[in-house]
Chain A
Amino acid sequence: MNKSFLMRNPSTLWFLLGLSLFTIVVTILSDAGLGVMSTSFVKTLGKTLCLCLIAVAMDVVWGYCGILSLGHFAFFGIGGYAVGMWLMYARTEGIVLDSLATQTIPPTAQEVTDAIGNQIFGVVGSSEFPMIWAFSDSLFLQLLMVVLVPGLLALVFGWLAFRSRVTGVYLSILTQAMTLALSLYLFQNDSGLRGNNGLSGLQNIPGFENTPQSTISLAFFYASASAVALGYVLFAWVTSGKMGSVIKAIRDNESRVRFLGYHVESYKLFVFTITAVVAAIAGALYYPQAGIINPAEIAPIASIYLAVWVAIGGRGRLYGAVIGAAFVSLLSSWFTGGGAPAIPLGFYTIQWTDWWLVLLGLSFVAVTLYAPKGIGGLFDYLVRKPS
């Protein structure tokens, strides 16, 4: 079944081939091979892959199903927080146990918990473990949370919204409000997730303290690449066949699909929830590479940028999302990192750190107006030309 599905979707095969090639090239260039690619660049590429994954999810929910969600970065963040909690807890537990072992009297379980709490929350002036950290000692449970929390949130939110027939821009504003509420909530110290400081030191993986970051970053790069591959295939499958047709039909005319007897809400809810879960998985892979997660990451602007990537890459085609996310985010870091040369105009010098956002904003308007298919549209042009 799977094989025939891939055969019917040659673009998916091409994508997987390209991704494997890319992975091999990176491996050769990295410290594991020739050593010309720095660890920080491997991390950047790994993170970019995670962004590609959430962009693909965004493309499915927006480009295919027509729901402009401005809340998917919230799910991304929840995934990061869920995995970050375990990383922080386990790393601190190791340190605390080592330190307490030097005492004459063995510590009680309560003392160990208190010491860990003090280490983690001392930074924000507290030492109590909040309820929300109840499962943080178990990697398995926290990984389950990566999937369950965003999944349930999306399910409840989506059910309420779709049931009330909140559609179009209203839904966008509602999802944006949800993101804002979540980020404001996390900004509070009382939320128990260290407020504005967020969770940090996530690049140190407990149990691998002595493994160099070059190896860890490569491992995460592979994991991200595999996740992108799996996610891509999953969504290619979701958007093809009969279900794909229904989803696209909902985008084009929701009422008509409903009159044809389809239960539109269920389809939308399915797409909304599954993309939320994939976004969370992307986040869970992203933040151990970034090293720190804090509420600013979840600010509504991030979700809007996500829409920008997908729009520039090309909506309604999965590879478009990947191209958009990779292209814009790498270009963005190149411009803001001072990599782009300044342009002297004689009377004024254009510093790209200052002008990049202006350029991005305007090019975004241009893409919306003149090239609604985005960069992906170029492929259509190339493919059609010979015929």
Chain B
Amino acid sequence: MPRVLILLALLLGFSPAAQAQELQTLLQPHAQEVAKPGRRTVGTVLDDLASSGIPQVATFLEEWQDKSVWQSPEGLFFIADEDGDNLILTDIDSGVETTAPSDGFTQLKPNGGVRRVIGTALVQFQLMDPDLNRRTTAVASIARRPEASQLAPLLGSIDGEEDPTLKARKIQLANFLSASFAEEPTDRIAAISSLSTDVSVEARAVLNQILTTRPALAEELPTDVNVARVLNPGEDMSLDAAYELLVADDLAAPRTDADTIKAALASNIINGRVGDVPVAQLGTTANRNRAYAQLAHSGTVPPLVTDTDRDAALAKFTFFEIYDEADTAITDAATTALASVETRVAVGQSADLALDALSLASIYFLAAIGLAITFGVMGVINMAHGEFIMMGAYTGYVVQLFIPSYTASIIIALPLAFAVTFAAGVAMERLVIRHLYHRPLETLLATFGISIALQQLAKNIFGTQARPLTSPAWLDGAWVFNDVVQISYIRIAIFVLAVIFLFLILFVLKRTRLGLEVRAVTQNPGMAASMGINPDRINMLTFGLGSGIAGIAGVAIGLYAKVTSEMGADYIVQSFMTVVVGGVGNVWGTLAGASLIGFLQKGIEWLNPSNTLAAQTYMILFIILFIQFRPKGIVALKGRAAAD
């Protein structure tokens, strides 16, 4: 602080021409606060700046908020741009640019809380600004920290607003502010009532803020306050909690807990006894209470408050909650509006949960559909299926290394991932699986060997760290129906992909020559061969197809989650269960299985939202039981095809 004073003196001394209306001069008494601002304390500086009427204040505040203000070694503030080791300094008053080495300069980094307060201070400058971005920022600042004083300027700015989106937003926001801060109760009630159809988080926040309560107690229920509800100890609150409230108001003696009793006993040992109880016998609660009762009787310690005492004390008082808002009409209107909103929110949440479940189901479906072909149609159990998913994802990653455009890279990555995993699948079928067609358990083990080898290979090549696979900008963000129901575009894309593949596979299997041959070979290879179909070729192609689809699934899963060498292992057990639960040998079955698992998992999560792991555990347990009682799955094949 002394340093600042000296600086100030120097400044005044050396530049007598400097006017009081210069921003730099105005800032200097606050230099310390400006350099290291705090959310609670920065207000005084901002008030001074805002009331000074200096035109440069708005720019300065914007730059400050943007971390572009630097402090010189002498304590002066500049707007600065870094240029190597130098700083391009802009004088905050004159706007004159100079260059100086950055040594000794410190960058001002106001934290998020301060930036928000600055944003509020900027509102008055930005609300009428010709620049749309500035006006939008101002409106966002109001939304973040609504204050009564903003209502009038906001209302005033609505008529002149040209941008329709922003205008609608301003009207909405003005409505929120009216509900909380309007002068006339009728205005508030009108605003509140208009919120009853608005499910946005902000509208609910406004209503909930109006309806905040505080607990209170009295011997008789008072009539002069706005009572929210009466609390019955034992039902609405625990007996002990109610008693605590009495104790806090000095209306009852505190309860004696076990530790207090123990401490009291320990400090009252006389000749190895407390009362007539020997210390060695104090190892039971009954004896301790007996000894304590004796101490209380002799007046050494306060008497024990028993449960009966507690209940008697509670019976004398009424407990209730009162609204912070005194006007009953307003709280009534808010309660009605909130009830209506909450019904809508509940409906919205169910819809959102259903969307999430649908999205999860489509991810499971996409991961499992390749398996539905190799395992379901061919009966080959491929434990390396998860690693094909991983290969697809890494293919996407590698493509992005070479092609900087995310859109182009995805368009190339999808077919390339198919090609890579198709080739890998064909190679595996030719080299390994072909020799094991009649030994399913051994296929399981051999493909598992391939799975661990591939996983480790991926680790050796790409490292164990997750690799970025970035979705193109048009897949960023979410489709927002309202604040409750929304889903990210990438999940919609996965859903669309899943639907495409469902129909593609159905088409291939049911409507093409290849599909016919696949089904023929599956049902009776010998007969198919004698009809001129080459079973080897068909098996190879089918397996390749299943693997190739896994590769595409890998790109999709990598886009929405992560690309690691272990990502395949995360999906393999679930994928197998999807296929088995749905019913082997049927694409519709896989769809049913994925839907069941997706919806079930989201349902259990909803019941126990704080523990996602439990949802997975119970989901698997359910599937185990389900398979025990319906071994052939949801869509069971009938007749000869159902035989093992």
Contact = CB atoms under 8 A, between A and B. Distances in A.
The answer to whether A and B touch directly, with their CB atoms under 8 angstroms apart, is yes
Contacts of B442: 368, 372
Main secondary structure of the interface of A (DSSP, over half): helix
B279 A173 contact: no
B446 A368 contact: yes
Given A355-B460, A369-B436, A361 B453 contact: yes
A115 B229 CA distance: 41
Interface string B619-630: 011011101110
Interface of A: 66, 68, 103-110, 160-161, 163-170, 172-174, 176-178, 180-181, 184-185, 187-188, 190, 300-301, 304, 307-308, 311, 354-358, 360-365, 368-369, 372
28 contacts: A66-B441, A68-B445, A106-B280, A108-B284, A108-B285, A160-B625, A167-B644, A169-B440, A169-B441, A172-B441, A173-B573, A173-B580, A174-B627, A178-B624, A181-B617, A300-B573, A307-B445, A354-B459, A354-B460, A358-B452, A361-B449, A361-B453, A361-B456, A362-B449, A365-B432, A365-B453, A368-B445, A369-B436
Contacts of B625: 160
B282 A106 contact: yes
Interface stretch (B45-53, B237-245, B261-269, B538-546): B261-269
A368 B611 CA distance: 41
B573 A180 contact: yes
B620 A180 contact: yes
Given A180-B573, A364-B449, 19 more contacts: A103-B266, A104-B266, A106-B280, A106-B281, A106-B282, A108-B283, A163-B628, A167-B644, A169-B440, A169-B441, A173-B573, A184-B616, A307-B445, A311-B445, A357-B455, A360-B449, A360-B452, A362-B453, A368-B449
A369 B432 contact: yes
> Which of A173, A187, A311 has the most C-beta atoms of chain B within 10 angstroms of its own C-beta?
A173
Contacts of A180: 573, 620
> Which of B269, B381, B454, B613 has the most C-beta atoms of chain A within 10 angstroms of its own C-beta?
B613
Contacts of B284: 108-109
B175 interface: no
Contacts of A369: 432, 435-436, 446
B580 A304 contact: no
Nearest to B282: A105
A190 B614 contact: yes
A355 B262 CA distance: 63
A172 B611 CA distance: 28
A364 B283 contact: no
A68 B445 CA distance: 10
Contacts of B450: 361-362, 365
A374 to B, nearest CB: 12
Across the A-B interface, give the 10 residue pairs with the lowest CB-CB distance, nearest first.
A361-B453, A364-B449, A357-B456, A106-B283, A361-B452, A181-B620, A368-B446, A365-B449, A160-B628, A361-B449
Contact of A358 (B265, B281, B457, B627): B457
Given A166-B631, A169-B441, A357-B456, A188 B448 contact: no
A107 B283 contact: yes
A166 B288 contact: no
Nearest to B286: A108
B620 to A, nearest CB: 4
A172 B573 CA distance: 11
Contacts of A178: 624
Nearest to A181: B620
Contacts of B7: none
Contacts of B441: 66, 68, 168-169, 172
Contacts of B451: 361
A165 B449 contact: no
Given A354-B459, A355-B456, A364-B448, A168 B644 contact: yes
Contacts of A368: 436, 442, 445-446, 449
B285 A110 contact: yes
Contact of B627 (A169, A170, A365): A170
A66 B631 CA distance: 19
B628 A166 contact: yes
B319 interface: no
Contacts of B283: 105-109
B628 A161 contact: yes
B613 A177 contact: no
A105 B283 CA distance: 7
Contact of A181 (B381, B448, B621, B644): B621
B279 A104 contact: yes
- Measured as residues with beta carbon below 8 angstroms from the partner, the interface class of chain B is 35 or more
A15 to B, nearest CB: 25
A360 B269 CA distance: 71
Interface in B449-483: 449-457, 459-460
B444 A172 contact: yes
Contact of A304 (B448, B577, B617): B448
Contacts of A166: 627-628, 631
B294 to A, nearest CB: 15
B576 interface: yes
Nearest to A104: B266
A106 B441 CA distance: 62
Nearest to A368: B446
Contacts of B281: 106
B265 A105 contact: yes
Nearest to A311: B445
A354 B614 CA distance: 34
B263 to A, nearest CB: 9
A164 B631 contact: yes
A170 B262 CA distance: 61
B574 to A, nearest CB: 9
B175 to A, nearest CB: 44
A173 B262 CA distance: 57
A368 B629 CA distance: 33
A285 B38 CA distance: 60
Contact of A184 (B285, B449, B613, B628): B613
A376 B441 CA distance: 19
Contacts of B452: 357-358, 360-361, 364
A215 to B, nearest CB: 36
Nearest to B584: A170
Nearest to B262: A105
A358 B623 contact: no
B446 A365 contact: yes
Contacts of B627: 164, 166, 170, 174
A18 to B, nearest CB: 28
Nearest to B263: A105
B573 A364 contact: no
A184 B615 CA distance: 10
A267 to B, nearest CB: 19
Nearest to B622: A181
A214 to B, nearest CB: 36
Contact of B624 (A174, A357, A372): A174
Contacts of B616: 184
Given A104-B266, A307-B445, A355-B460, A164 B621 contact: no
A275 B519 CA distance: 40
Interface in B127-155: none
Interface string B553-574: 0000000000000000100010
A100 B459 CA distance: 51
Given A169-B381, A177-B577, A190 B617 contact: no
Nearest to A361: B453
A173 B617 contact: no
A166 B630 CA distance: 10
A323 B448 CA distance: 21
A160 B627 CA distance: 10
Given A106-B280, A188-B613, A355-B456, A181 B624 contact: yes
A314 to B, nearest CB: 14
Contacts of A105: 262, 265-266, 279, 282-283, 288
